[in-house]
Amino acid sequence: MTPSILAALAGAGFMVAAWLLHRQERTRAIDELLGLSPLPAVEERDGPDPASALTGRAVDLAGQVVDRLDRGRSFSSALDRARIPLRPGEFVIVVAGGALAVAAALLAVTSSVPVAVLGALAAGAAGPLVVRRRIAKRRQAFQDQLPDALSLVASSLTAGHTFLRAIQMMCEESGPPLSEEFSRVVAESRLGDPVVAALERMGERLQIRDVDMVVQAIRIQQTVGGRLADLLHTLGEFMRAREEVRREVNVLTAEGRMSAYVLAALVPFLFGVMNVLNPEYVEPLYSGWGLGLLIGCLASVATGMVVILRMVRIDV
């Protein structure tokens, strides 16, 4: 096998091993929580698996590095908000394995070390972007579900149910991510925590302005009194009207966002095509001032994309 194929296999092996190790530890934790006695494992009879031991040490080392760099545990909180069932160390190993596989694939196709290095860096940078993208999609889905959820809670309150029971019934009728977050609120309330405090923690996790507004409205209502059902109906109608304006703004600014994506993707696409069709033409860029030009080109493209996206972003 060529070194590039071996590197690709090693990267894929690290990703699979980290995922299997995570699944094994999660199953063991559930068994301990339920008081189940696990079956004797194969490594207890035949000795430890070298691949699993190596992966476990790599995950532990990556987790220690992340803990030292991230004192506030913001990365772990981001994985929790994104609903990615991985620890920070496992996520780092999976991203590193993916970057190694991408670099090996580019090295096999282009036979260029700088291109492989740039591909590995891009693949490594894509990991945090995936987390942010999942968080943004989850927040948007929650915002889309929130007005209808408030209407369901208000209808249940009008029918005579308690506030906690209304939230529980709403969770039964709604889908994720809204049902997941409010089910967590119900579980915390059953453990003795006040409902408003549980809602405030949910707002801190999600970091959504509408949720903060709802929590503050509920807190004020509990302080001064009044009909909570009417208040929730009013908030739901207000959120629906603002969401219509937000969608109209997104439609009007869609052309600008698409232009940013196309212009940003055009440069690396043409560079890859020229590198495959005529490698000698772009070979001077891999040494001397060529590397500086490549870095400057990437910085220019990234800056232009950020500027265009900021120009078309309008908060409603």
Contact 233, 158 (CB under 8 A): no
- Return the residue matching tokens 């400057």: 296
Helices (H), the chain: 3-34, 42-46, 50-69, 74-81, 88-110, 113-158, 163-173, 178-190, 195-206, 209-224, 228-252, 254-277, 279-282, 289-312
Structure tokens at 64: 């220690």
pLDDT interval class at 283 (50, 70, 90): confident
Render pLDDT for 157-209 as a digit per residue (tens, 0 to 9).
888 888 888 888 888 888 888 888 888 888 888 888 888 888 888 888 888 88
pLDDT interval class at 23 (50, 70, 90): low
Residue 260 pLDDT > 60 = yes
Asked whether the CA dihedral 296, 297, 299, 300 is positive or negative, the reply is positive
| Whole-number average pLDDT of the chain | 78
Residue 45 pLDDT > 70 = no
According to the model, what pLDDT value does residue 15 have? 54
According to the model, what pLDDT value does residue 42 have? 41
Contact 14, 58 (CB under 8 A): yes
- DSSP code of residue 191: T
CATH topology of domain 139-241: Receptor-associated Protein (1.20.81)
What's the CA gap between 189 and 196, in Å, rounded? 9
Across the range 14-19, mean pLDDT stands at 51
Across the range 62-85, mean pLDDT stands at 74
Burial degree of 235 (CB within 10 A; 0-12, 13-18, 19+): buried
What's the CA gap between 149 and 156, in Å, rounded? 11
What's the CA gap between 213 and 235, in Å, rounded? 9
Report the alpha-carbon angle 236-238-243, nearest 5.
95
- DSSP code of residue 270: H
Residue 242 pLDDT > 80 = yes
pLDDT interval class at 228 (50, 70, 90): confident
pLDDT interval class at 1 (50, 70, 90): very low
Q: What percentage of the chain reaches a pLDDT higher than 70?
A: 78
Cα distances (angstroms) measured from residue 224 to each of 161, 203, 212, 221, 285: 20, 22, 18, 5, 70
What's the CA gap between 34 and 184, in Å, rounded? 20
According to the model, what pLDDT value does residue 243 have? 85
| CB proximity list for 229: less than 8 A, separation 6 or greater | 154, 155, 157, 158
Domain boundaries, the chain: 3-111, 139-241, 253-312
pLDDT interval class at 53 (50, 70, 90): low
Structure tokens at 239: 């959120």
Render pLDDT for 91-147 as a digit per residue (tens, 0 to 9).
888 888 888 888 888 888 777 777 788 788 888 888 888 888 888 888 888 888 888
Choose among 301, 275, 304: nearest CA to 114: 275
According to the model, what pLDDT value does residue 198 have? 87
Out of 179-188, 228-237, 277-286, which region has the weakest mean confidence (pLDDT)? 277-286
Structure tokens at 142: 């929650």
According to the model, what pLDDT value does residue 16 have? 52
